[in-house]
Amino acid sequence: MPIFIRACLYPQVSMHARTSRCHNGYGSFAQGGPALSLEKPIEPSTVTQFQTEKLRRTIQECQDIKTLRGIAMELLQLHEKKSAIAEWATKKGVDAECRALVAEMSIENKLAKTFQIIRTDGQSDEIAGRYFSSYDEAHTVLERYYADLSCSDEDEREYYDIVELNS
């Protein structure tokens, strides 16, 4: 029985999207379509559901331990890659959000630089070192960062503080 996991577990990006533009299932980012809603749960496409069911049946019917072991190893590799992609996307999203907030505040000349996000371990990254005119703005950035982390990321989580600076 052949292992077909590589071919069947990458359907999240449609063939049209692979060849032409980014597509999220709700509209095209490249075309200025709607963004994903936080209220609407993320669900797999029908194609993904069918391919998952096909793989599920293959695993259930398979009697060859080597084939099952091969599928399991590929699933582990895929999980590792998806976790890395999610972490990267989270960091880029936080960075973009921070830049947007700073740019918005700078344009309006309201950036008083009275609050700063710092890492508890003293290191610097995309979030640490940002300045905000209010505690709430800094807290919003951290809220979005922590909201995008899953419980399994607990060991790799960075911890931040918001400090008030003397003006």
Q: What tens digit of pLDDT does each residue of 134-165 get?
A: 889 899 988 888 887 766 666 677 888 999 88
Query: Where do the DSSP E strands lie in the chain?
Result: 115-119, 131-132, 160-164
102-129 mean pLDDT: 77
Tell me, what amino acid is at 26?
Y
Residues 23 and 32: their CA atoms lie apart, in Å, by 10
Residue with tokens 């008083």: 112
- Are 101 and 122 within 8 A, CB to CB? no
Residues 118 and 50: their CA atoms lie apart, in Å, by 46
Tell me the percentage of the chain whose pLDDT exceeds 90. Answer: 29
Question: Does the predicted TM-score (pTM) go above 0.95?
Answer: no
Tokens matching residue 35? 């963004």
Tell me, what amino acid is at 102?
V
pLDDT at residue 148, rounded to an integer? 75
Planar angle of CA 21, 29, 157, nearest 5 degrees: 110
Tokens matching residue 158? 């960075």
Tens digits of residue pLDDT in 3-47: 333 333 333 333 333 333 333 344 434 444 455 566 778 888 999
